[in-house]
């Protein structure tokens, strides 16, 4: 069964560019850990939707422990004011660090 992680983040107004650059720099490396990865921006950096999918729960767990996901977690913690996290369409937390 496919595992899906959806993260919606709202960057701090003065950190939009920095968050966007972080995502751009991380994208290729994050993609190596996922079956599918999509990042959508809306409202000129007001909101980002990150959608990652894996074939198995083990693949997902291993990915979330990777260096790339730790860097993403740090960017979310430092550069955003709010986040919504859903795992398989269920809201699990607003703290990226807690989903591991």
CA distance 14 to 32: 30
Domain ranges of the chain: 3-99
DSSP summary character for residue 34: -
Residue pLDDT tens, the chain, 100 long: 789 999 999 999 999 999 999 999 999 999 999 999 999 999 888 999 999 999 999 999 999 999 999 999 999 999 999 999 999 999 887 666 666 5
| pTM given for the model | 0.88
- CA nearest neighbour of 40 among 30, 28, 51: 51
CA distance 52 to 61: 12
Looking at CATH, the fold of the domain delimited by 3-99 is given as Alpha-Beta Plaits (3.30.70)
């Amino acid at each position: 069964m496919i595992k899906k992680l959806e993260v919606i983040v709202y960057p701090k107004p003065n950190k939009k560019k920095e968050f966007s650059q972080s995502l751009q720099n991380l994208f290729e490396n994050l993609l190596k850990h996922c079956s599918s990865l999509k990042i959508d921006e809306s409202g000129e950096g007001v909101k980002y939707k990150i959608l990652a999918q894996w074939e198995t729960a083990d693949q997902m767990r291993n990915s979330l422990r990777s260096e790339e996901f730790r860097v993403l977690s740090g960017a979310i913690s430092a550069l955003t004011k709010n986040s919504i996290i859903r795992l398989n369409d269920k809201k699990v937390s607003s703290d990226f660090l807690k989903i591991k």
